[in-house]
Amino acid sequence: MGSGTPLSPGILSGPIWCSTCIAGRLLLAAAIMSLLFFKRVLANPVRVGYIVPSLPFLTRRTAGFIDFSKAGTLIELGPGEGCHTRRILRRMKSGSRIILIELDECFAAHLEQQFFDDDRVTVVHANAIHLAEILEKLDASNPNYIVSGLPFTIMERSLRETLFKSIATAMGPDSRFITYQASLRMSDHELFELIRSEHCLLNVPPLHIMELRKSLN
Ligand SMILES: C[S@@+](CC[C@H](N)C(=O)[O-])C[C@H]1O[C@@H](n2cnc3c(N)ncnc32)[C@H](O)[C@@H]1O
């Protein structure tokens, strides 16, 4: 169409215009969030771990591990810019709550801003190694689910072990720990028992999603 050709009135009216506008806004929001993610990767590559946020294929499959009828209290460790949180909130009941624990101050501020009007969400800018104390303060010990995006596979061994201990301490016998990782290595860790796992190829990088419970031994 030439620049002088008038637009047909139908093009700018009704649902087509609205959906184009919504799609455009969603694309813009996704671009801004990815930019933030990329900036934080540059600032701290080991802590953030991956170069892009989890893709919708992974967030959908991870949320599929959660039984939302039993998810009164959810914890998310390392939510980043909030891609899993948004997916979870779509299915979470109104009486449930989710506590986001994020170490990066820019991500934490972004999460606060993004979810300020959702009273199911609490954002805590802290290190997940203090998980048990944080949950005690928030009266959220023995949560139903702990969903973790922490990059265990690439972090230093002593930090990983400290985090595993904190997570296991915060879990009750019925709590479930869901994590997505590049390897299945942690599935035979002495503190946890693997319930099930799935491989999600459609992510960068492809990841294993694991559901674990606290080991009773
Ligand atoms: C691999 S990114 C995952 C981000 C997001 N969940 C996703 O799937 O796109 C890891 C996230 O964990 C956060 N993180 C790393 N170590 C942490 C710690 N000890 N406590 C809390 N958050 C941490 C990073 O800042 C980052 O947001």
Q: Is residue 1 part of a domain?
A: no
Handedness of CA 5, 10, 15, 18 (dihedral sign): positive
pLDDT in the model for residue 11:
40
84 in ligand 1 pocket by Cβ < 6 Å? Answer: yes
Q: Is residue 4 part of a domain?
A: no
pLDDT in the model for residue 52:
87
66 in ligand 1 pocket by Cβ < 6 Å? Answer: no
pLDDT in the model for residue 197:
97
Return the CATH number at 143.
3.40.50.150
Question: Are residues 27 and 106 both part of a single domain?
Answer: no
200 in ligand 1 pocket by Cβ < 6 Å? Answer: no
Question: Are residues 184 and 159 both part of a single domain?
Answer: yes
Residue stretches of the chain with pLDDT short of 50: 1-13, 17
Angstrom CA distances, 140 to 22, 57, 73, 75, 191, stand at 37, 29, 7, 9, 21
143 in ligand 1 pocket by Cβ < 6 Å? Answer: no
Question: Are residues 98 and 165 both part of a single domain?
Answer: yes
Asked whether the beta carbons of 98 and 121 are under 8 A apart, the reply is yes
Structural domain that includes position 201: 46-214
Question: Are residues 54 and 34 both part of a single domain?
Answer: no
pLDDT in the model for residue 84:
98
Contacts with 185 (C-beta within 8 Å, 6 or more apart), sequence order: 153
pTM: 0.86
Please provide the DSSP assignment of 167-208 as one string.
Answer: HHHH--TT-EEEEEES-SGGGG-TTEEEEEEEEE-SSSS-EE
Q: How do the residues of the chain divide into helix, strand and coil, expressed in percent and rounded to 5?
A: 45, 20, 35
Pocket test for ligand 1, best of 33, 48, 50, 148 (most atoms within 8 A of CB): 48
Residue nearest to atom 11 of ligand 1 (CA): 78
Residue nearest to atom 16 of ligand 1 (CA): 47
Matching residue, tokens 């139908």: 10
Q: Is residue 3 part of a domain?
A: no
Asked whether the beta carbons of 145 and 72 are under 8 A apart, the reply is no
Q: Is residue 68 part of a domain?
A: yes
pLDDT in the model for residue 48:
84
Q: Is residue 2 part of a domain?
A: no
Question: Are residues 40 and 56 both part of a single domain?
Answer: no
Question: Are residues 112 and 204 both part of a single domain?
Answer: yes
pLDDT in the model for residue 1:
36
Question: Are residues 170 and 210 both part of a single domain?
Answer: yes
Per-residue pLDDT reduced to its tens digit, 100-127: 999 999 999 999 999 999 999 999 999 9
Per-residue pLDDT reduced to its tens digit, 141-170: 999 999 999 999 889 999 999 999 999 999
Q: Is residue 182 part of a domain?
A: yes
CA angle 215, 149, 184 (to 5 degrees): 55
Question: Are residues 104 and 205 both part of a single domain?
Answer: yes
Question: Are residues 185 and 139 both part of a single domain?
Answer: yes
Question: Are residues 39 and 54 both part of a single domain?
Answer: no
H-helix segments, 55-156: 56-63, 83-91, 105-115, 131-137
Question: Are residues 62 and 86 both part of a single domain?
Answer: yes
Question: Are residues 40 and 62 both part of a single domain?
Answer: no
Q: How many domains does the chain have?
A: 2
